[in-house]
């Protein structure tokens, strides 16, 4: 008997083999990989239309090997509504950051979810505006210092961080809503399962699916990648608990 080497972990086919612009330790790349792996698994790459938001996530059209529409800031769910209604046989997803989805796009996401549009939304929550220089976002944690809250977020003035996954789970049109993190290998595996559940929700035509992913932003948090990754477990997960808040397939 002899032995051979078998490849057990490879680059997903739906993800282009290119260098990303993301900073070292930024977990957008991990989340891109999980979405691309789900596309590969369900075999929907050739009928997927992505809708890109504004922010660091905007360059997904250069990284996913699919067709992409670029939406104005915050309006990805509105554009995706049009795409899905015009082409109901396509797999349609948006991929948005917290500044895009939870601030300027709050109206669009809530109404698209409430209408139960058959799309999937991937929401990357890193508690800050990444691309524009680390300003305070609606998801910025209490006391967190950002370039527009230099003394820390004061909840008396600025309000509290929004828990989007819980908020959307209240809406009748939402079929699936969950929050995951990608800070440890275990959480990455769990996140991969949840992303696939969200894909399944759309493929079965059950309604709107939403996945919030907690992500590190070392550059704007002013931390090295390992400290930033540790902050996800220490500060973010206690405020943004990891759970599946709604799953109509389980009912």
Partner 1 sequence: MPKVVIDELRCKGCGLCTTACPHGLIRMSDKLNRQGFLPAVISDEDQEKCVSCAMCARICPDVAITIFKKVNIA
Cα–Cα separations (whole angstroms), residue 14 to 45, 96, 208: 6, 19, 23
Whole-number minimum distance, CB 20 to partner 1, in Å? 7
Q: Which residue's CB is nearer to partner 1, number 86 or number 226?
A: 226
Contact call for residue 229 and partner 1 (CB under 8 A)? yes
Extract the runs of DSSP E, i.e. beta strands, from 36-158.
48-52, 67-70, 91-97, 120-125, 128-129, 135-136
Neighbours of 189 (CB within 10 A): 12
Give 123's strand partners. 96, 212
Give 92's strand partners. 49
Whole-number minimum distance, CB 56 to partner 1, in Å? 12
Contact call for residue 157 and partner 1 (CB under 8 A)? no
Query: Binding partner 1 by CB under 8 A: which of 82, 142, 173, 225?
Result: 225
Q: Which residue's CB is nearer to partner 1, number 69 or number 188?
A: 188
CA angle at residue 239 from 238 to 245, to 5 degrees?
95
Contact call for residue 1 and partner 1 (CB under 8 A)? yes
Query: Binding partner 1 by CB under 8 A: which of 14, 25, 123, 221?
Result: 25
Q: Which residue's CB is nearer to partner 1, number 104 or number 188?
A: 188
Whole-number minimum distance, CB 10 to partner 1, in Å? 6
Structural element, H or E, at residue 63: helix 60-63
The pairing of strands 67-70 and 48-52 is: parallel
Whole-number minimum distance, CB 226 to partner 1, in Å? 6
Contact 144, 174 (CB under 8 A): no
Backbone angles phi, psi at 83, to 5 degrees: -60, -45
Contact call for residue 223 and partner 1 (CB under 8 A)? no
3-class SS at 88? coil
Give 95's strand partners. 52, 122
Binding mask 173-202 for partner 1 (x = CB under 8 A): ---------x-xx--xx-------------
Contact call for residue 15 and partner 1 (CB under 8 A)? yes
Stretch that binds partner 1, among 1-9, 74-82, 165-173, 206-214 (CB under 8 A): 1-9
Applying CB under 8 A, which residues contact partner 1? 1-12, 15, 19-20, 22-30, 33, 182, 184-185, 188-189, 218, 225-226, 229
């Amino acid at each position: 008997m002899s032995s051979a080497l078998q490849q057990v972990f490879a680059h997903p086919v739906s993800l282009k083999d290119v260098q990303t612009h993301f900073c070292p330790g930024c977990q957008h790349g991990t989340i891109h990989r999980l979405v691309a792996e789900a596309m590969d698994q369900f075999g929907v790459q050739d009928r997927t239309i992505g809708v890109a938001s504004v922010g660091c996530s905007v360059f997904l059209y250069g990284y996913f090997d699919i067709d992409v529409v670029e939406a104005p800031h915050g309006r990805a769910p509105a554009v995706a509504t049009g795409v899905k209604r015009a082409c109901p046989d396509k797999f349609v997803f948006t991929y948005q950051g917290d500044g895009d989805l939870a601030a300027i796009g709050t109206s669009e996401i809530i109404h698209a979810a409430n209408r139960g549009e058959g799309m999937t939304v991937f929401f990357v929550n890193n508690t800050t505006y990444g691309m524009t220089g680390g300003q305070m976002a609606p998801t910025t944690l209490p006391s967190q210092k950002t370039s527009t809250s230099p003394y820390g977020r004061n909840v008396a003035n600025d309000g509290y961080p929004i828990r989007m996954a819980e908020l959307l789970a209240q809406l009748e049109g939402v079929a699936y809503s969950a929050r995951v993190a990608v800070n440890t290998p275990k959480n990455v595996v769990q996140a991969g399962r949840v992303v696939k559940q969200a894909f399944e929700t759309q493929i079965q035509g059950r309604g709107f699916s939403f996945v919030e992913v907690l992500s590190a932003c070392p550059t704007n948090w002013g931390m090295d990648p390992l400290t930033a990754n540790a902050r996800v477990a220490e500060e973010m997960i206690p405020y943004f608990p990891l759970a599946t808040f709604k799953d109509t397939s389980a009912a």
